[in-house]
Amino acid sequence: MFEYIFFDETLRDRFVSHAGELGVLCSVSDDVLGFTVSIPEDLQEAVLDDLERFYELLEKEQMALSREQGELRSIAGIGFLLPDGQSRMLPLKQEMANRLLASFSLDELKALFSEVARCTLQPQDEHLCRVLREELKGD
């Protein structure tokens, strides 16, 4: 299951509605971080891409809502993928998330965390010098 987290019920409900329009069945639960929506992993790539784009729009709305209401969220989450394609959310303190987002795009952070997960779950016993040497051969 892929999971999406929301801090506002209305935004969560809009995501569930949009997913329903695409024919995607969702399961909804409350999480310690907020409201979680889970969707099946075996969806067509175009549907997954559409849902990801819609989720990113809702994330921006959430940030705007928080600023409007003067709310400071103490926690944020960056989504990433495990090597087997499962989606995970890394909770971060808002201050750290803001510092990261000041230097990296959301896509770059997702790629970074996905790569860390891959290296952790599928470790290579090669020294860094050897890895770099192999990469230089390819150039």
Contact (Cβ atoms closer than 8 angstroms) between residue 37 and residue 16: yes
What long-range pairs does 16-21 form, CB within 8 A, spacing at least 24? Answer: 18/51, 18/54, 19/51
Chain mean position to CA 24: 19
Please report the pLDDT score of residue 25 as a whole number. 93
CB-based contact 110:78 (threshold 8 Å)? yes
pLDDT tens for 95-133 read 787 788 888 888 888 889 998 998 888 887 666 677 677
Q: Does residue 108 sit in helix, strand or coil?
A: helix
> Is-above-0.85 flag for pTM?
no
